[in-house]
Structure 1
Amino acid sequence: MKIVKYDSLEKLSGVNFDARKLLTSKKLEIVLISLESGEVVKKHSTPFDAIFFISKGKGVVELSDEKINVNENDMIYCDKNVEHGITNNSNDRLNVLVIKLLK
């Protein structure tokens, strides 16, 4: 068993929002993204499938040209190489658990 304390993790560099790796293994990586009101993860694509779980708050997830309103406890699956982004358009914090499915 391993316990990970969020506050003890370093913030990821190179991004303009709070993101911290909770776990990395050969098959997956788990990152918690925390967006304050108005913060955005710009649209981008990745070479792996990903799952986005909204653990707190609400916002908008963009997949290709589609904008999807998301709420706490919603989950979205994103295929590899599909452009995606996240926007916190609310007044409260938006926490998104990102599960990267590595192969």
Structure 2
Amino acid sequence: MIITSYNNAEKKDNPHGVTVHKLYDTEHAQVMHMQLKPGDALKKHSTPVDVFFYVLEGEGIVEIGDEQQTVTKDMLIESPAKIPHRLLNESDGLFRVLVTKVPRQTEPTKMV
């Protein structure tokens, strides 16, 4: 059995400047724990694989393509491959999200 706490997981550098910890990384899938502080936002980008976001804490905004919606704890958001997307935290609290990429990304992310 392997158990990983995000507090002890490897921090992952990213072009968005937000806190990301790598929780799971195999040849089949990747799972990251992402924290957006108030005012943080990801740059719009697209991934070559499907991604889903699961909100662990707080409230944030998800943009996928031309759609934008406010999301809260316990919501799962699907983001299809090659569609530009980003997350924003315009609230006063922490926005924590589990990010899962399936299958594992092997090509680079494209900034829009």
Task: Pick the TM interval, shorter chain.
Answer: over 0.9
Deviation at 1:77, TM superposition (A): 0.6
Displacement of 1:27 after TM fit?
1.3
Distance in 2 (CA, whole Å) between partners of 1:78 and 1:26 is 20
More strand by share: 1
Deviations 1:4-44 (A, max 9, x none): 12222232113301001100111110001001001011110
Q: Normalised by the size of structure 2, how large is the TM-score? A: 0.87
Equivalent residues, number: 103
Gaps (5+ residues) in structure 1?
Answer: none
Q: Which residue of 1 aligns with 2:108?
A: none
Post-superposition CA distance 1:53-84 (Å, at most 9, x none): 01100110000111111011111111100000
Q: Which residue of 1 aligns with 2:35?
A: 34
* Alpha-carbon distance between aligned partners in 1 of 2:48 and 2:26, rounded to the nearest angstrom: 16
For the residue of structure 2 that corresponds to 1:8, the secondary structure is coil
Q: Secondary structure at the match of 1:42?
A: coil
Match of 2:45 in 1: 44
* RMSD, aligned CA: 1.1
Determine the structure 2 residue equivalent to 1:11: 11
Equivalents in 2 of 1:75, 1:39: separation in Å? 20
